[in-house]
Amino acid sequence: MFSGRVGPLYKHVFPPAASPTLSFVGLPWKVVPFAQYELQAKWIARVLSRHVSLPSQRHMLADISAFYARLKKEGVPQR
């Protein structure tokens, strides 16, 4: 289902099965990368410090599936 991509990752950062203890910074998606990396790092810090909660694993997987479905519909190749 997710072949050809890094993931599945919730919002390109958290793998649902291992979050919040595992996260990835620096997987850019159509933005200025260094600003994105800073925002990702701040979000991860807030999650790890429990200032922000992640949704359930089920919700994260549903969000990822919807995102990939949208990419497929728009004709974006898997990479």
Residues 6+ apart with CB under 8 A from 61: 8, 16
Per-residue pLDDT of the chain (79 residues; tens, 9 = 90+): 555 677 899 999 999 999 999 999 987 666 678 888 899 999 999 999 999 999 999 999 999 999 999 999 999 887 7
What is the pLDDT, as a whole number, of residue 65? Answer: 95
Q: Report the pLDDT value the prediction gives residue 5, as an integer from 0 to 100.
A: 73
